[in-house]
Amino acid sequence: MATNRRLGVLISGRGSNLQAIIDAIAERRLDATIAVVISNQENAGGLDRARRAGIETVTLSHRGWASRDDYDRALVSELRRRDVGLVCLAGFMRKFGTPFIDGFPNAIINIHPSLLPSFPGLHAQQQALDHGVKASGVTVHFVTADLDAGPIIVQRTVPVRDDDTEETLAARILIEEHAAYPEAIALVLDGGWRIEGRRVIRSTTAAAV
Ligand code: GRF
């Protein structure tokens, strides 16, 4: 369970989900602080969004390390140095090994543009179109060693239209992503949940039933 409300946001690209988190905090819909934004790509557009919001940025390229584990350990050390309590992956295009996963137990979350467990990995929206599903959506989940497979925190659905392309479906899902990520972060930070098997169970929900 997250111990503090200091977020570390990891990006590789444009950072629209990062922006949604920045906006949610500014509008007091989310009680948190972004302690640092880390990108593995120096030209990631999200770095400018962070700088504009006055947030510290770090570029840590994944190239040139002796092993994936060494890179993972460097990431953990950057995050720990800033007392990060919850790590939010927001379009961070890297897989992690155990040094990273074990560095933040149940405190790394990811956003994925499909209703997991359907369509993990790259091009989730195109996968949904190719499969012919009539609804897709977004999933925010805890990160485990298996790709896009950890316990699910929040999902939102989006209809798939007959005339959708990968771009139009992705754009419609992205709107829901921007609502789902701050919602999931708030849920995790507020506590009162536990993980049973694959299920994230909220005590408040249990009490209300
Ligand atoms: C989003 O679709 C997210 O679900 C996926 O990567 C994309 C990142 O977009 N993991 P952005 O950089 O947040 O705009």
Which atom belonging to ligand 1 lies closest to the Cα atom of 20? 13
112 touches ligand 1 (CB under 6 Å): yes
How much is the pLDDT for 96? 87
- What is the pTM assigned to this prediction? 0.95
> What does the pLDDT read at residue 188?
98
User: pLDDT of 94-135, one tens digit each?
Assistant: 888 899 999 999 999 999 999 999 999 999 999 999 999 999
What's the CA-to-centroid distance between 207 and ligand 1, angstroms? 34
- Please compute the mean of the pLDDT values over residues 72-76 and round it to a whole number: 96
Mutate to test the pocket of ligand 1, among 11, 12, 14, 17 (most ligand atoms within 8 A of CB): 17
Angle at 111 between CA 75 and CA 186, to 5 degrees: 90
Nearest Cα residue to 155 out of 117, 190, 121: 117
Residue-level pLDDT at 203: 86
Please report how the helices 124-131 and 166-190 are oriented relative to each other, as an axis angle in degrees rounded to 10. Answer: 120
Question: So what's the pLDDT on residue 139?
Answer: 98
Q: What is the pLDDT of residues 31-51, one digit of tens each?
A: 999 999 999 999 999 999 999
Q: Give residue 2's pLDDT.
A: 47
Which residues, listed in sequence order, are joined to residue 111 by a DSSP beta bridge? 140
Query: What is the pLDDT averaged over residues 64-82?
Result: 96
- The closest residue, in CA terms, to atom 2 on ligand 1 is 113
**Does the pLDDT value for residue 209 go beyond 50?**
no
How far, in Å, CA of 205 to CA of 209, rounded?
Answer: 6
pLDDT tens column, 143-193: 999 999 999 999 999 999 999 999 999 999 999 999 999 999 999 999 999
